Structure 1
Amino acid sequence: MPEWIHIIIRSLTALVTLFIFTRILGKKQISQLTFFEYVTGIAIGDLAGFASTDIEAHFGLGLLAMGVWFVVPLSIEFLSLKSKTIRMWFEGKGTVMIKDGKILEDNLKKERYTADELLEQLRTKSIFRVADVEFAMLESNGDLSVLLKSDMQPLTPKHMGMKLTTEKPAQAVISDGTIADEPLATAGKSRGWLHTELDKIGVTTENVFLGQVDSDGLLTVDLYDDKLKVPEPSQKPMLLATLKKCQADLELFSLTTQNEKAKTMYEQCSEELKQAIGLVETQLKS
């Protein structure tokens, strides 16, 4: 057998073996690696390379070596699930770098971290002042986890006492000009509804590269022809305007009626509708 064919066969075999090993070891092997995972990943990759190209060596011994480097970390992963001590030994533990807005210089030296490297890590998280940081920890995978001080954290709807509806993933109801019935059913819509919405914006299914229905039931589309302008969804602004008009009408009725009972009813309904508008106004404006 020619050597080049021999190398192709060995390379394909090593590639398949390496893929199987990686799949079994799990997603941690392709994410942020710990020290041990980094070492085993490099070793298995090097062994696969040598086994593929060194035709003078016994290929079975190369696979055996790869198997050893596969079994050992797999066994350690199972043991780490059972023992915190083993997990800390092989995966390490986090180191506190900043506490109460102050840098812990001894911990920086322990991790051989310079002030410039710490500031660089903070800048990647859009943080430019150490004094804004309440707590920062260098995780075992090398990532820096940061907690800002409470007065420096972004304002959220919860801080403002607002209640928002739960967002659900948008459903891709049209892909490459073809209607997808399963996502359409998941969104609680029908083909008739979809064609009606497309007619409103003046496009056909064949012209849509991607169409999505969000949790509010609004259809947004991306067309093949990017020069075409697609009207923005107007259902929510129209609903908000209608609610405000109804509330204004109720106030007008309460001012013009001579019947005291009707006046009280109109005022009460107007106030209740005003409160309801306040609860949903943010969502309807978005």
Structure 2
Amino acid sequence: MPEWILISLRALGFLIVLFFITKWLGKKQISQLNVFEYISGIVLGGIAAIYTLDTTSNFFYGVLAMFIWFIVPFSVEFLSLKSKSLRDYTQGKATVFIQDGKIMEDNLKKEGYSTDDLLEKLRDNNVFLASDVEFAVLEPSGSFSVLPKTENRPLTAKDLGITLAPQKEPQTVIMDGRVLLEALANLNLSKNWLETELEKLNVSLENVFLAQADTNAQLTVDLYDDKIAVPSPVELPLLLATMKKSQADLELFALATENEDAKQMYEKNSKKLQTAIDLVSPLVN
């Protein structure tokens, strides 16, 4: 057999083995690696390269070596889930760089970080003054987490005492002109609903490149033809406008009537509707 064919077959074989090993090790292996995973990843690639090019070596010896380098980190990862001390030893521990608003200089030196490195990490987290930070930590994976001081954090609905309805993640319901039924089901929507919404937009399914729906069943569409303008969803703004008009009508009815019972009824319902408008407005805006 020609050597180039042999190398090609060995490369293909090791590629398949590496693919399944990586799948078995999990997504963590291909995201942010700890020291142990980093070493095993390099060695696995090295073994595959060496045994691919060395046609005199035994292919199955290479597979055996890769299996050993797979089973060891897999076992360590499994045991680490059950042992905090082993997890700290193999994966490392987080290092605090700023605590209670004070920079921990000794921890910076321990990790080999300069002041410039610290400021760069802060800027990566959209923080430009170290004095704005309450707590900052270097994670074992090398990522940097920052907790700004209370007065420097953005306001949330909870801070303002506003209760918001829970939201599901938006779903892609059409991709490349194909309807994704599972995505529709995740939002408790049907294909008939989708067809109705497309009719409202005067758009045919075949012309849709991408369509997404949110938790409020609002559909946004991108077409293959970029010259065609698609109107933005108006259901929620229209609902709010209708509620405001109804509330204003109730106030007018209360002013127009001379019947005291009717006047009180109109005023009572107007106040109820105003309360509903106050609750709905944050969701619409």
| TM-score interval (norm. to shorter) | over 0.9
**Match of 1:129?**
129
- State the shift of 1:181 in Å: 4.1
**Match of 1:10?**
10
In structure 2, runs of 5+ residues without a counterpart are none
**Match of 1:198?**
198
**Match of 2:168?**
168
- State the shift of 1:113 in Å: 0.6
Q: Residue 47 of structure 2 contacts residue 66 of structure 2 at CA under 8 Å; is this kept in 1?
A: yes
Alignment pair present for 1:235 and 2:252: no
**Match of 1:105?**
105
**Match of 1:94?**
94
**What SS is found at the alignment partner of 1:82?**
coil
Residues paired across the two proteins, number = 285
- State the shift of 1:185 in Å: 4.7
Stretch deviating more after TM superposition (116-125 or 192-201): 192-201
Seen in structure 2, the aligned counterparts of structure 1 residues 191 and 59 have a Cα distance that, compared at 3 Å, is: closer
One-letter code of the match for 2:132? D
One-letter code of the match for 1:91? Q
**Match of 2:75?**
75
**Match of 2:58?**
58
**Match of 1:269?**
269
Cα deviation code 1:141-168 (max 9, x no counterpart): 1111111111111111111111212111
Q: Residue 239 of structure 1 contacts residue 284 of structure 1 at CA under 8 Å; is this kept in 2?
A: no
Question: d(CA) in 1 for partners of 2:159 and 2:77?
Answer: 41
- State the shift of 1:212 in Å: 2.4
**What SS is found at the alignment partner of 2:146?**
strand
Seen in structure 2, the aligned counterparts of structure 1 residues 194 and 74 have a Cα distance that, compared at 3 Å, is: closer
**Match of 2:159?**
159
TM-score by length of 1: 0.93
Seen in structure 2, the aligned counterparts of structure 1 residues 275 and 206 have a Cα distance that, compared at 3 Å, is: same
Question: d(CA) in 2 for partners of 1:193 and 1:82?
Answer: 48
Cα deviation code 1:46-92 (max 9, x no counterpart): 01100100122233322222222222212211221222221111111
Stretch deviating more after TM superposition (169-178 or 253-262): 169-178
Cα deviation code 1:217-255 (max 9, x no counterpart): 222111111111111111111111111111111111111
**What does residue range 179-258 of structure 1 map to in structure 2 within 5 Å?**
179-258=179-258
Question: d(CA) in 2 for partners of 1:190 and 1:110?
Answer: 57
Alignment pair present for 1:31 and 2:31: yes
Seen in structure 2, the aligned counterparts of structure 1 residues 193 and 9 have a Cα distance that, compared at 3 Å, is: closer
**Match of 2:144?**
144
Stretch deviating more after TM superposition (69-78 or 164-173): 164-173
What is the root-mean-square deviation in Å for CA atoms of aligned residues?
A: 1.7
Seen in structure 2, the aligned counterparts of structure 1 residues 104 and 213 have a Cα distance that, compared at 3 Å, is: same
Seen in structure 2, the aligned counterparts of structure 1 residues 41 and 220 have a Cα distance that, compared at 3 Å, is: same
- State the shift of 1:112 in Å: 0.8
Question: d(CA) in 2 for partners of 1:93 and 1:160?
Answer: 36
**Match of 1:85?**
85
Question: d(CA) in 2 for partners of 1:230 and 1:66?
Answer: 54
Q: Residue 177 of structure 1 contacts residue 206 of structure 1 at CA under 8 Å; is this kept in 2?
A: yes
Seen in structure 2, the aligned counterparts of structure 1 residues 27 and 195 have a Cα distance that, compared at 3 Å, is: closer
**Match of 1:118?**
118
Cα deviation code 1:254-286 (max 9, x no counterpart): 11211111111111111111111000012123x
Question: d(CA) in 2 for partners of 1:265 and 1:39?
Answer: 75
**Match of 1:282?**
282
Seen in structure 2, the aligned counterparts of structure 1 residues 213 and 17 have a Cα distance that, compared at 3 Å, is: same
In structure 1, runs of 5+ residues without a counterpart are none
TM-score by length of 2: 0.94
Seen in structure 2, the aligned counterparts of structure 1 residues 174 and 74 have a Cα distance that, compared at 3 Å, is: closer
- State the shift of 1:190 in Å: 4.3
Question: d(CA) in 2 for partners of 1:48 and 1:82?
Answer: 31
